[in-house]
Amino acid sequence: MSIAPSALPIGLRAIEKRFGSVSVLRDLNLNVAAGEFLTLLGPSGSGKTTLLMILAGFIRANAGSIKVGDDEIITTPPHKRNIGMVFQNYALFPHMNVFHNIAFPLKQRGVATAETAQRVEKALELVKLQGLGDRAVDQLSGGQRQRVALARAIIFEPRIVLMDEPLSALDKGLREHMQIELRALHRRLGMTTVYVTHDQREAITMSDRIAVMNAGRIEQLDRPETLYAAPRTQFVAGFIGESNFMPVECRDGAVWCEDRRIHTAMPAPASGRHLMVVRPEKLRLVTTTEPSNGINVFDATVADIIYQGDSFVCYAVLRDGRQLTLRDYCRGDVLARLPAPGQPIRLGLDAQDTILVAAEE
């Protein structure tokens, strides 16, 4: 089955949305490349689902432009946008079996019965549900229902597929499995896909790019590895991955943490208050005999050590009372070599692992 043979780009310009006096989206601009898997990531209330519903046509924007390819669609009704949709609760028809749920979009478009049967069978094969066409929806597992919803969304060869937190109802193991399945299916079909989630690990696992949303705006749009290694704002640094934040001051072309000069691989920002973002896995234990040239060394006291199977977390308190968290794998006798709670510890951060962002007011 040839699904979405000519994926199209999406361009959103100056999108505004208000519910009464509350502004939900503000002057939002976004480009999605043809065939891209782009995720809208953010906390509840950030505007990500509202933006997806505007793109689908279920919510009308107060202002702005939406183009799919060269076509302006902001006033086009949902059923004429040729967009596939996978909802959070799957929205399957309980009175229809699997076959008829998947066939529904083709029936609405007047596709012949014989062709419909062929396309449904191929769709079932594509989502690995062969032989389940006669199964009732209430006899399916959560993962199987998710696959039926996906098959229904793509069977009519849409230009775009939108997904609104489709994995949120699944347990952790199945959710992680379905992330890989969805990603593999996207690569196979080359659909332009816009995906909504509040789960940063899910977004990192599945996406070509991620748009991190906050208070109706896109804070940063980048590849997952760039968002993690080079966040541009305190919000992004705190939302993507785990972070320790340490206040620093930039003056005389250097970065200072209290009276200590911080070694950085990046140029010092302009004067002002900034934060150093310290990823827990970038911290390491430093011995008293190890040279400290080019390494930022922090003297602290162990507060607690948490064993987590393949890894451990060490909570340490600096002299000023600020806490740093170190995370590492349990290699060799590393746990036996860690100081006990209440004992001193030295933590090192290499210059190339320092990240600086402006402190938010």
Residue 330: band (very low, low, confident or very high) from pLDDT cuts 50, 70, 90 = confident
Nearest to 254 by CA among 269, 243, 240, 244: 269
Angle at 204 between CA 25 and CA 159, to 5 degrees: 60
Domain count, the chain: 2
Taking the model in full, what pTM does it have?
0.88
Residue 3: band (very low, low, confident or very high) from pLDDT cuts 50, 70, 90 = very low
Identify whether residues 322 and 287 lie together within a single domain: yes
Give the span between the Cα atoms of 200 and 7, in whole angstroms.
Answer: 26
Identify whether residues 80 and 50 lie together within a single domain: yes
β-sheet bridge partners, residue 348:
284, 297
Range of the domain at 33: 10-234
Q: How much is the average pLDDT of 292-321?
A: 89
**For 203-245, what is each residue's pLDDT tens digit?**
999 999 999 999 999 999 999 999 999 999 999 999 998 899 9
The yes-or-no verdict on residue 32 having pLDDT over 90 is: yes
Give the span between the Cα atoms of 275 and 124, in whole angstroms.
Answer: 51
**For 73-117, what is each residue's pLDDT tens digit?**
999 999 899 898 888 877 888 899 999 999 998 988 888 999 999
295 occurs within a structural domain: yes
Nearest to 227 by CA among 242, 210, 244, 215: 210
pLDDT of residue 291: 61
Identify whether residues 181 and 276 lie together within a single domain: no
pLDDT of residue 1: 35
SS3 297: strand
Give the span between the Cα atoms of 335 and 329, in whole angstroms.
Answer: 10
Give the span between the Cα atoms of 181 and 170, in whole angstroms.
Answer: 14
The yes-or-no verdict on residue 290 having pLDDT over 80 is: no
Identify whether residues 214 and 271 lie together within a single domain: no
Q: Look up the CATH number of the domain holding residue 216.
A: 3.40.50.300
Give the span between the Cα atoms of 11 and 38, in whole angstroms.
Answer: 13
91 occurs within a structural domain: yes
The token pair that represents 323 in the structure block: 């806490």
298 occurs within a structural domain: yes
5 occurs within a structural domain: no
110 occurs within a structural domain: yes
β-sheet bridge partners, residue 60:
none
% of the chain beyond a pLDDT of 90? 54
- Choosing from 182, 200, 234, the residue where a domain stops is 234
Q: Look up the CATH number of the domain holding residue 325.
A: 2.40.50.140
